[in-house]
Amino acid sequence: MSGPLLAIENLHVQFARSEDQVYAVNGVSFSIHENETLGIVGESGSGKSVMLMSSIGLLRENGKITAGTANFQGRDLLKLRPKQLEDIRGRDIGVIFQDPMTSLNPVMRIGDQIMEAMLTHQYAGRKEAFERTLHLLHEMGIPDPKARFKNYPHEFSGGMRQRIMIAIALACEPQLLIADEPTTALDVTVQMQILALLQELRRKRGMSVVMVTHDFGVATNFCDKIVVMYGGQIMEMADTDQFIRKTMHPYSLGLKRSIIEVGHRGKAIVPIPGAAKTMTQAPAGCPFAERCPYRTERCDNEVPELRKLNADHYIACHRAEEVASLAV
């Protein structure tokens, strides 16, 4: 098998605030291969979104990548100029966001927006781009493509807008789709429709998908691989089946126990105590230590490395072996 499609190594990102620095991403490494679906899961402030977006040049102005590499097709994305990155985004890497309204142009017909994606990247000529747009709209499940081509974003429902955004992202047939909370703002029945569509498109095109989500249910059902983040670090990384069979990190275990799901009525739910803190200093120990039931002195003073415990299962916890045996 060939190497990974995208490999992120030791990525560090910081944000400058008026009085201090926020350590948003603190040494993250992972890779995604061809034909793979990877879910990056975490709560707000875990760095999941920043980590991924900064690797493709979408970082807020007060943010800075302080170390790391992001290799995509033999090139380090972090060394490219903004213009070169723009060329890759939309052509080789498609991106969709939580709220289509903020990325769609409200005063441009949606058909023109899809065509524009192909014209900008010289993927197709005008006539071909037009034909392809109609085909894409149909493929995305938007009825009556010819008529809908002329509509503006506000004339569509939230679910339909997300389909249009997917059409734009996939117009140039990228090998990789990056999806940042693509279904979070949608109702459950619409979420299901969009996920079904993404799954079908992925299979048909053989592309890879990296999905950032706060929803463990979405990640564990949709993705082949799971990365769990906390405090700007990867806590657990595993093949999804493996993760379902045996979750190992105290944070992932705590989250799984604290999620209320249908059928939990009458059952005791154990919340994770406390709340995640904004990191204003480089981590000196495990970021989860403060909320962890297995905390020892070492956890406060030594950052745990992400280490391999089994095939396809990586954990960043000093006591991973003990926790695994205790948590059965």
Binding site for other proteins (CB under 8 A): 43-44, 157-160, 187-193, 195-197, 199, 214-218, 220-222, 240-241, 244-245, 254-256, 258-265, 269, 271-272, 275-276
Considering beta carbons, is residue 131 or 155 the nearer one to other proteins?
155
Considering beta carbons, is residue 72 or 156 the nearer one to other proteins?
156
Closest distance to other proteins from the beta carbon of 319 (Å): 20
41: β partners: 213, 228
Closest distance to other proteins from the beta carbon of 29 (Å): 25
Closest distance to other proteins from the beta carbon of 58 (Å): 23
Considering beta carbons, is residue 106 or 143 the nearer one to other proteins?
143
Closest distance to other proteins from the beta carbon of 3 (Å): 27
Closest distance to other proteins from the beta carbon of 248 (Å): 15
Considering beta carbons, is residue 95 or 160 the nearer one to other proteins?
160
Considering beta carbons, is residue 8 or 227 the nearer one to other proteins?
227
